[in-house]
Structure 1
Amino acid sequence: MIEIFTVVLPVFLLVGAGYGATYFKLFRDEYADALMKFTQNFAIPCLLFRAIAHLDLSTVFNFRLLGSYYAGSVSCFLLGILGAMYLFKRRPGEAVVLGFCSLFANVVLLGFPIVERAFGTDALGPITAIAAIHAPFCYLLGITTIELVRADGRSLRATAITVAKAMFKNGLMIGLALGFTVNLTGMWLPEGLWAAVEMMGRAALPAALFGLGAVLVRYGLAANFGETAMILLLRLGVHPLIALFMATQVFHLAPEVTRVVVLTAAMSPGVNTYIFANMFDRAKGAAASGVLLGTIGAIFSVSVWLVILRAL
């Protein structure tokens, strides 16, 4: 167990350092926004660009891998909606937001560093394949569903146009698109450019983890403990259980791929869940609590899943 903590502890220490520095006024809150913009618009896109450009797509990017992960994602999304409506009597729009909180995992900021520390750099291939469609898949599913259930929503055509524009302006999506372009075309790039991209990519994860901790300071704990507990149960427990079943019993993935899929599924709710809640002005308290408590809870849940996966 001590070995497991040595894998996950440095990741959460960086998150804690960002949180503590901001909470005690050693790092100003507005700096956190600037740091997150740097990581999300520049450093992480470089990391994803390099990873996608060098991927063996025929080996890594396959239906069985993605099916094992996203079957659990969609299941948790639907369970979150149903639980919010029938257990907590939430209105449909609020229920979709709570479902989105159960759907969207912190794949990039927490998943990448934890998977790399646990299983090495070779394990980044499968998680990169998951991350490549994670944001567009989740946002398309979440926005389309909420527009279908809320009475004051835009038309589906208007929603599709809005989502498409947002995707093309997103730094992560641009990095992924450029990575696929280089990979599929075999485009030659100078060695100096690759070196610069690699340097920027190395800055991505530590800076993003520190920034994540700094941003979490502004998220207070709301009195939505029931809804928050449901979100965390689905995100930290149900999703990895479904992923483990699908990977081992349905798609029969290799053990090294199964470990990455299940551990990625065990990540806490991503900051984008709060952004989604704020976008539609629904269930913001539960979304914020889910991000904060989920990040803390992931210290223990990820450690437990690592023990289980290494015992398989």
Structure 2
Amino acid sequence: MEAILSVTVPFFALVLAGYLAAHRHVLPESAIPGLNAFVLYFALPCLLFRFGSGTPIFDLLNPVVMGVWLIAAGVIVFFTIATTLRAPVAMKDAAFGALVAAFPNTGFMGVPLLAALLGPEAAGPVICVVLGDLFVTSSVCIALAQAGDASGHGARDGALRALRGALSNPLPWAIAAGALFSVAGWTLPGPVDTVVGMLADAASPVALFTIGAVLHRAGQHVHGRTPPALYLPVAAIKLVLHPLLVFGLAGAALALALPISSFQIGVMVLAAALPSASNVSLLAERYGADNGRIARIIMASTAAAFVSFPLLAWMVGVRG
């Protein structure tokens, strides 16, 4: 456990540092979009490219890992909607609640954290689930949110908008470029490789700091009070039910002799145990959902994961 905490505590401490910096106005709110842009368009793509170029293509696009992850995500999405769709939670709010229940913070937090905890070989399964969530989970949830939208935007329009958003995200393209280099056996020229390495090394601390700042900003823009009964159960689904479901489905795949390893299962379970993706609050705000409820789910899952994530890592036998 001590070895696990030596890895996880600094990661969560950086999230807290970003939150406190924004709370104390050391970091102006106007600077947060710039930090977010640096991570999203520069640092994190370089990190994903570096992992992708050093990972066998089958590990990046393992169909069993992808299938297990998406089945689990689908079950979590529809279970969350079924258990939360009641007054005052409308369909749009229930769908975005389902998205934060099924979409962990694998991009900003999961890739660097799991690579630090389990080694660089963990990058393959994590990148695989990142792609699944970006292209499938988010598209399904946004389509469901738009299905009953009184503005006239239907499910098909919502799904297409979500897919266009995923295609405009630089992360899948960085993964694709890394996969191409991996298959072709190419390497970057020395100076370019150095620049990519420097940006990749900056991804982890800046991304974690940015998560904290984004969480504070989301909390500041919340209007009205949200009863704990409307957000704590969803945070519990994210941190408890999601990893349990992934473990059960992946274990069944292993028992059926499908090409999935115990190591990949451990990575997937820990990815599912990560807190909710912080960028979902921005999506909820953009689509007119109850961003206050979504922000509280994300904050509750992030705070609780400080304890639950290391505990689960210890239970699955991680040595750090």
- TM normalised by structure 1 equals 0.91
Please give the per-residue CA displacement for 1:109-129, whole angstroms capped at 9, x wherever unaligned: 221232123212222221122
Match of 1:310 among 285, 292, 317: 317
Return the offset for 1:161.
4.7
What amino acid sits opposite 2:125 in the alignment?
Answer: P
Please give the per-residue CA displacement for 1:136-193, whole angstroms capped at 9, x wherever unaligned: 2222111222222334332555445534443343222332333344345555542332
Cα distance change, pair 92–163 in 1 and its aligned pair in 2 (3 A): closer
Return the offset for 1:69.
2.2
Cα distance change, pair 189–3 in 1 and its aligned pair in 2 (3 A): closer
Cα distance change, pair 265–287 in 1 and its aligned pair in 2 (3 A): same
C-alpha contact 1:11 1:113 (8 A) present in aligned 2 = no
Return the offset for 1:243.
0.8
C-alpha contact 2:118 2:318 (8 A) present in aligned 1 = no
Match of 1:268 among 275, 278, 296: 275
What amino acid sits opposite 2:242 in the alignment?
Answer: H
Return the offset for 1:43.
0.8
State which drifts further: 205-214 or 158-167.
158-167
What amino acid sits opposite 2:89 in the alignment?
Answer: R
Measure, in 2, the Cα distance between the counterparts of 1:159 and 1:74: 17
What amino acid sits opposite 2:243 in the alignment?
Answer: P
State which drifts further: 272-281 or 145-154.
145-154
- Mapping 1:195-206, distance limit 5 Å: 195-206=194-205
Cα distance change, pair 159–249 in 1 and its aligned pair in 2 (3 A): closer
Cα distance change, pair 132–51 in 1 and its aligned pair in 2 (3 A): farther
Measure, in 2, the Cα distance between the counterparts of 1:189 and 1:307: 38
State which drifts further: 158-167 or 261-270.
158-167
Identity of aligned pairs, percent? 24
Measure, in 2, the Cα distance between the counterparts of 1:285 and 1:159: 21
Q: Secondary structure at the match of 2:89?
A: coil
Return the offset for 1:11.
0.2
Which residue matches 2:191? 192
Which residue matches 2:33? 33
Please give the per-residue CA displacement for 1:204-253, whole angstroms capped at 9, x wherever unaligned: 11111111112222233742311211211111000100111112223343
C-alpha contact 1:235 1:268 (8 A) present in aligned 2 = yes
Return the offset for 1:266.
0.5
Q: Secondary structure at the match of 1:310?
A: coil
- Mapping 1:127-146, distance limit 5 Å: 127-146=126-145
CA RMSD of aligned residues (A): 2.3
Measure, in 1, the Cα distance between the counterparts of 2:317 and 2:166: 37
Which residue matches 1:234? 237
What amino acid sits opposite 2:285 in the alignment?
Answer: N
Measure, in 1, the Cα distance between the counterparts of 2:168 and 2:318: 43
- Mapping 1:291-306, distance limit 5 Å: 291-306=298-313
Which residue matches 1:281? 288
Return the offset for 1:77.
0.8
C-alpha contact 1:271 1:291 (8 A) present in aligned 2 = yes
State which drifts further: 258-267 or 302-311.
302-311
Cα distance change, pair 272–57 in 1 and its aligned pair in 2 (3 A): same
Cα distance change, pair 133–181 in 1 and its aligned pair in 2 (3 A): farther
C-alpha contact 1:106 1:271 (8 A) present in aligned 2 = yes
What amino acid sits opposite 2:316 in the alignment?
Answer: L
Measure, in 2, the Cα distance between the counterparts of 1:256 and 1:114: 16
Cα distance change, pair 190–133 in 1 and its aligned pair in 2 (3 A): farther
Cα distance change, pair 215–59 in 1 and its aligned pair in 2 (3 A): closer
C-alpha contact 1:268 1:298 (8 A) present in aligned 2 = yes
Cα distance change, pair 168–60 in 1 and its aligned pair in 2 (3 A): closer
- Mapping 1:67-78, distance limit 5 Å: 67-78=67-78
Which residue matches 2:104? 105
Measure, in 1, the Cα distance between the counterparts of 2:303 and 2:60: 31
What amino acid sits opposite 1:11 in the alignment?
Answer: F
Measure, in 2, the Cα distance between the counterparts of 1:108 and 1:167: 13
C-alpha contact 1:64 1:251 (8 A) present in aligned 2 = no
Cα distance change, pair 51–83 in 1 and its aligned pair in 2 (3 A): same
Cα distance change, pair 187–217 in 1 and its aligned pair in 2 (3 A): same
Measure, in 1, the Cα distance between the counterparts of 2:83 and 2:252: 27
- TM normalised by structure 2 equals 0.88
Return the offset for 1:89.
5.1
What amino acid sits opposite 1:205 in the alignment?
Answer: S
